Structure 1
Amino acid sequence: MLRYSLTFGGIIGVLVIALMTVTLFALGPDAGGTTELLGYVTMLAILSLLFMGIKRYRDLEQGGVITFKQGALVGTGIAVIAALIYTISWEGVLVATDYAFIETYSQSQIDAIKAEGLPAAQEAEKIAEVQAGMEQYRNPLFRLPITFIEIFPVGLVVALLSAAILRFPKVLPARANAASAA
């Protein structure tokens, strides 16, 4: 079970951080909602590998049969490993860019607020909220859990849905081994 969690979680974590980093640098922090939406769609697509991890475990280790609990455990393990790799990798991206993302992102948020044409008091309040949020984000004890929960809940939902589907052996049954068929 651990081998599947490490293997598939590692693959998912590396793919998610690679694609999200490319997306962030290609579109830039000014893309705002577009970057976030594309990030979550990409994350969800890559997390579909979680389904394949549970299926491989079911087919190769469990003889084609798996309980919901076993599938949920394997899937949750994969999701945890993927989220840890994503979190650690994102920290690496921040360090490699000298934390420029924090400044660039907060400035793009402030520019967007200023472009709204709000009354001065309301604008100042919103800008202060952004600045306070970015100050919190500079603290790793705040940032690390936030980064982890960007991906883990999505992975957990995919894991539970996959476990629920794959508990039925007739859903995508294991193919007969060509050697045993001969």
Structure 2
Amino acid sequence: MVILSSYFSFVENFKNYPMKKIVLTFGLIIGTILCANMIVMVNMMYGDTVFKGNDIVGYTALIVLFSLIFFGVRNYRNKQLNGAISFGRAFKIGALIAFVASTMYVVIWLFYYYLFVPDFIDVYTAHVLQTCTTPEELAIRTREMADFKEMYKNPLFVILVTYSEVLPIGLAVALLSALFLKKKENS
């Protein structure tokens, strides 16, 4: 009950924020690009039997994409607050942008996964097992992927895992943006 009242309080307060337009605009832009990238990558995995993802390139792309948070916070600071913003307010705006983008990513993944690629875990498992180089590693990864497949049957787990892919990066960029953009009012 406390969670619901906190949620409704958040929604009611969000309606009154002058930053709503910036949060939604930047959050939806980032979310749209995140979702398009996710769909392209999943389709590449399905279309290429020897698909090799690159985590470094993937996370670098996420950091570059989430860097739009910086511009959203800066835009709000310069246009709404006459060039001055506290660390807390800057972080809150950045975190809200990251949350909007991440939520869009999670919702689209849920629809895409359950409606279009319900065998995704099997395809992903095959790609993970292809990277194993020793029989011992293959046995360990096979057990891990079987456990992951079992946990992925729970929609709450799917939601948490999907948020964990993108939200921490968005929050880290929001934190850095707040550190760089905080600026006291001129007396």
Q: TM-score normalised to the size of structure 1?
A: 0.80
For the aligned residues, what is the CA RMSD?
2.1
Secondary structure of 2:135 counterpart: coil
Looking at structure 2, the residues matched to 107 and 9 of structure 1 have their Cα atoms a distance apart, in angstroms, of 34
Larger radius of gyration: 1
Q: Which residue of 2 aligns with 1:140?
A: 155
Q: Give 1:133 deviation, angstroms.
A: 1.0
Work out the CA distance in 2 between the residues paired with 1:27 and 1:110. 14
- CA deviations on 1:81-140 (whole Å, 9 max, x unpaired) are 111111111112212323132110012223433xx2325xx6434312211112212321
Distance in 1 separating the partners of 2:138 and 2:174? 42
From 12, 19, 36, the counterpart of 2:30: 12
CA contact (8 A) 2:129 2:138 kept: no
| Partner SS state of residue 31, structure 1 | coil
The correspondence of residues 42-121 of structure 1 with structure 2, limited to 5 A, is 42-113=61-132, 116-119=133-136
Query: Partners in 1 of 2:57 and 2:141 — Cα distance?
Result: 25
| Conservation of the 8 A alpha-carbon contact between 2:83 and 2:183 | no
CA distance in 1, matches of 2:74, 2:84: 9
SS at match of 2:134: coil
Contact 1:2 1:77 in 2 (8 A): no
Counterpart-to-counterpart distance in 2, 1:103 and 1:27: 11
C-alpha contact (below 8 Å) 1:16/1:42 kept by paired residues: no
Aligned length: 164
% identical equivalent positions = 32
TM-score (norm 2): 0.78
For the Cα contact (< 8 Å) 2:90–2:182, is it kept in 1? yes
How many Å separate the matches in 1 of 2:94 and 2:140?
43
Whole-angstrom CA distance in 2 between matches of 1:59 and 1:21: 35
